[in-house]
């Protein structure tokens, strides 16, 4: 009896919020890194992060010299009347030699398609394309060659999409989860007046306040109290969806508890489905975080490629990811819904 060939391991796509993070990710085994510019064109527009034109060129050169690719995240939506900022970002990516753009806005896709037809287009998770029909629309209209699926699909739904699309599919493998459907969140804009879909951050720094009180450190977003931490308690990124609130006399995470997605246990299934790439979330995290997570996932992918039928996450890998996970805990998220 002839055994089936082992499916190819997916590409490992890793975050790079800085040049140092890019270098460490590439050296730790990333097949590709994704980066953003220092403006609202990307959805991780934090002070102190991201690239200027010179750093972008340097990062692309570093990655290409070591056989890795660089994807430019232009994954926020262009503001009416300010489209030129996004168009200039497309031009900057092309000039620097980026291998692909990760795009959500259809006008930006059209610009890239018409001005830089040789530059690959990847449909961002922010586009919220959860069906093969939606993905096919973007392929026909704008020529996308890959789609990043939102983190709301079960494994069977991912497989259904893969069986019907004519483009590559990329899924999230590890990192912070979001209770919202990507690209459709209005919760932060309700509190701050700035949408994360085009401001580039869930919680604009100008709206965040940390205040020492006798009861602990209060975290506020535009004056709204969203959490209070004990002196020795780790402090999370201050977002409304992961705040703790009093509901019916009980204090807790009313919307979403801080936790990280970790899909390593279902890696063989993702490979057999034909997933082209697995993505690590975390451009806002430290270079050390990026290096450690990349190294673990590189080892896991190589192990699965060598023996997919006997693959199991190593204890050391799990321990490292547990330590780095948001809230020091992880989940399969929507991939596993036993109640369905």
The whole-number pLDDT of residue 179 equals 64
Count of domains for the chain: 2
Assigned domain for 111 exists: yes
CATH code at position 38 = 3.20.20.70
Shared-domain flag, residues 138 and 27: yes
Shared-domain flag, residues 53 and 134: yes
Shared-domain flag, residues 249 and 269: no
Assigned domain for 182 exists: no
Rounded distance between C-alpha atoms, residue 255 and residue 241, angstroms: 6
The whole-number pLDDT of residue 1 equals 43
Assigned domain for 84 exists: yes
3-state secondary structure string, 62-120? Answer: HHHHCCCEEEEEECCCCCCCCHHHHHHHHHHHHHHCCCEEEECCHHHHHHHHHHCCCCE
Shared-domain flag, residues 112 and 243: no
Shared-domain flag, residues 234 and 269: no
> Mean pLDDT for each consecutive 10-residue tract of the chain (340 residues)?
72 97 98 95 85 96 98 92 95 97 97 98 94 97 97 92 97 82 72 73 82 89 87 78 84 78 94 97 93 98 95 95 80 69
What does pTM read for this prediction?
0.89
Assigned domain for 5 exists: no
The whole-number pLDDT of residue 240 equals 81
Shared-domain flag, residues 122 and 16: yes
What is the span of the domain harbouring residue 208?
187-253
Shared-domain flag, residues 24 and 165: yes
Rounded distance between C-alpha atoms, residue 246 and residue 233, angstroms: 19
Shared-domain flag, residues 132 and 272: yes
Give the number of other CB atoms < 10 A from CB of residue 41: 29
Assigned domain for 31 exists: yes
Give the number of other CB atoms < 10 A from CB of residue 293: 29
Shared-domain flag, residues 301 and 206: no
Assigned domain for 1 exists: no
Shared-domain flag, residues 142 and 274: yes
Q: What would the two tokens of residue 328 be?
A: 């020091």
Shared-domain flag, residues 26 and 158: yes
Assigned domain for 4 exists: no
């Amino acid at each position: 009896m002839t055994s089936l060939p082992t499916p190819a391991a997916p590409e490992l796509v890793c975050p790079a919020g800085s040049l140092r993070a890019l270098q460490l990710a590439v050296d730790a085994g990333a097949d590709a890194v994704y980066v953003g510019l220092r403006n609202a064109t990307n959805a991780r527009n934090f002070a102190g992060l991201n690239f200027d034109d010179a750093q972008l060129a340097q990062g692309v050169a570093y990655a290409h010299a070591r056989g890795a690719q660089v994807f430019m995240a232009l994954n926020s939506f262009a503001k009416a009347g300010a489209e030129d900022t996004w168009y200039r970002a497309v031009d900057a990516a092309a000039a620097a030699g980026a291998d692909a753009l990760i795009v959500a806005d259809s006008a930006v896709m059209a610009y890239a398609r018409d001005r830089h037809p040789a530059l690959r287009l990847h449909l961002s998770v922010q586009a919220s394309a959860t069906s093969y029909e939606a993905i096919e629309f973007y392929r026909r209209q704008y020529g996308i060659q890959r789609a990043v699926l939102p983190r709301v699909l079960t494994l069977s739904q991912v497989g259904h999409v893969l069986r019907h699309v004519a483009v590559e599919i990329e899924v999230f493998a590890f990192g912070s989860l979001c209770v919202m459907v990507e690209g459709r969140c209005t919760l932060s804009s309700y509190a701050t007046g700035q949408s994360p879909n085009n401001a580039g951050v869930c919680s604009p720094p100008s709206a965040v306040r940390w205040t020492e009180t006798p009861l602990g450190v209060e975290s506020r977003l535009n004056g709204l109290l969203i959490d209070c931490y004990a002196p020795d308690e780790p402090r999370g990124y201050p977002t409304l969806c992961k705040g703790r609130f009093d509901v019916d006399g009980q204090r807790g995470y009313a919307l979403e508890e801080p936790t990280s997605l970790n899909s390593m246990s279902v890696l063989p299934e993702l490979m057999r489905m034909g997933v082209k790439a697995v993505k690590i979330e975390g451009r806002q995290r430290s270079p050390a975080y990026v290096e450690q997570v990349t190294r673990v996932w590189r080892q896991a992918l190589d192990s699965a490629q060598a023996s997919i039928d006997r693959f199991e996450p190593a204890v050391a890998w799990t321990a490292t990811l547990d330590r780095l996970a948001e809230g020091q805990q992880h989940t399969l998220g929507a991939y596993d819904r036993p109640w369905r």
